[in-house]
């Protein structure tokens, strides 16, 4: 199904909610009612993004289904389907086929930006001391230490902490010396960054469908330096936490989109109400985010956000839908609920949906649509 620019009505939500199964119960008889809403502009637009792809995202998906609206998961294909703690391939495919957007979050949650070095480095040192050791999480990763004049490549052997502080262990001594300071930093090599950006997208599309992964969320919100120059070659948009989460609807910068965490330790219910008032009253596009595996983002919090958005006539959309609506980038064609081009991954353990639950979810989506017509 292709969604065209400006298709902002309840019909969009209706088609998202029921998927291809709608045809089997003859929903064509409802087209007059749904079409009546096509002329009703929403007060604003809102996207909800869940980071990492834990199995708890499926619970959030269930909450969204009750309101007949989609959401977004920023997922790591190297973690999906790996254990009961992460979304299974069956859950990912079901969510995607019901309008949920999956966004790249690197392969195994690597930090893509740059981190300052806080201790001087002498030639031959096998330990470097950055502000954070995120680049030292995986042995064998290629990194580069650089300043305004020099750069030296090295290979990660691990990380740890000693009397000096947190460090990254190198496989062999570094070839250059560097003075600590804001201009001396560590990041992954350009070749490795490109590999991550490419393989993360391709890996996710093995779970959903080809050309469906269009956007990127930076792990740890690390977006500074070279990666911010490379990402536009691979992705349409890269929303990043800015603590505000309000973006212009007119000509928004897809690489400058801000998002705000909606977890209970970041926003009160009053904060959320004020945020959504701004979305509804100003020409703003709101993006809220969170981690469903955290205790600070229970399903009740998401239900509250969606209820408040509904009361304000705010249309909940995916990031890519919003970019389509705002005329920034067209949404890719979806084969919603179809059987063509099925991914190679068979559904694995970790909470696959039983047939009776799928039927109940379908009925709930129908009811959610009718509820939206009269609210």
pTM metric for this prediction: 0.80
> What long-range pairs does 248-254 form, CB within 8 A, spacing at least 24?
248/283, 248/284, 248/285, 249/44, 249/45, 249/283, 249/284, 249/285, 249/326, 250/283, 250/326, 251/326, 251/328, 252/285, 252/323, 252/326, 252/328, 254/323, 254/328, 254/329
Q: How are the residues of the chain apportioned to helix, strand and coil, as percentages rounded to the nearest 5?
A: 35, 20, 45
Asked if 13 and 68 touch (Cβ cutoff 8 Å), the reply is yes
Mean pLDDT rounded to a whole number for the chain: 84
pLDDT of residue 283: 83
298: Cβ–Cβ under 8 A, 6 or more apart, which residues?
A: 264
* pLDDT confidence tier of residue 335, bands split at 50, 70 and 90: low
pLDDT for residue 336: 54
Tell me: the pLDDT tens digits for 213-271?
A: 999 999 999 999 999 999 999 999 999 999 999 999 999 999 999 999 999 999 999 99
| Residues 91-113 pLDDT 10s | 999 999 999 999 999 999 999 99
User: So what's the pLDDT on residue 165?
Assistant: 97
């Amino acid at each position: 199904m292709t969604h065209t620019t400006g298709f902002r009505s309840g019909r969009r939500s209706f088609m998202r909610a029921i998927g291809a199964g709608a045809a089997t119960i003859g929903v064509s008889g409802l087209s007059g009612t749904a079409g009546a809403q096509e002329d009703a502009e929403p007060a604003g637009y809102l996207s909800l993004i869940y980071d990492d792809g834990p199995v708890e995202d499926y619970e959030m998906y269930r909450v969204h289904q009750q309101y007949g609206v989609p959401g977004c998961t920023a997922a790591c294909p190297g973690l999906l389907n790996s254990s009961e703690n992460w979304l299974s391939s069956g859950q990912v495919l079901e969510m995607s086929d019901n309008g949920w957007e999956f966004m790249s979050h690197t392969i195994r949650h690597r930090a893509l930006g740059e981190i300052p070095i806080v201790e001087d480095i002498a030639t031959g040192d096998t330990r470097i001391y950055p502000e954070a050791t995120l680049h030292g999480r995986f042995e064998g990763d290629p990194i580069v230490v650089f300043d305004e004049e020099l750069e030296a490549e090295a290979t990660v052997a691990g990380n740890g902490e000693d009397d000096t502080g947190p460090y990254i262990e190198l496989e062999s001594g570094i070839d250059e010396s560097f003075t600590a300071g804001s201009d001396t930093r560590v990041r992954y090599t350009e070749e490795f960054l490109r590999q991550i950006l490419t393989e993360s997208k391709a890996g996710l599309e093995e779970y959903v469908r080809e050309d469906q992964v269009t956007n990127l969320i930076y792990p740890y919100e690390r977006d500074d330096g070279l990666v911010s120059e490379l990402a536009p070659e691979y992705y349409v948009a890269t929303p990043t936490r800015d603590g505000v989460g309000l973006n212009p609807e007119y000509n928004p910068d897809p690489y400058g989109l801000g998002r705000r965490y909606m977890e209970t330790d970041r926003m009160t219910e009053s904060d959320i109400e004020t945020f959504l008032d701004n979305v509804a009253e100003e020409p703003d596009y709101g993006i809220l985010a969170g981690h469903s595996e955290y205790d600070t983002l229970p399903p009740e919090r998401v239900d509250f956000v969606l209820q408040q958005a509904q009361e304000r006539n705010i249309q909940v959309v995916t990031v890519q839908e919003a970019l389509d609506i705002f005329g920034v980038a067209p949404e890719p064609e979806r084969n919603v609920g179809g059987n063509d081009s099925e991914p190679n991954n068979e559904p694995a353990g970790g909470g696959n949906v039983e047939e009776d639950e799928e039927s109940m979810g379908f009925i709930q989506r129908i009811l959610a649509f009718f509820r939206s017509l009269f609210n």
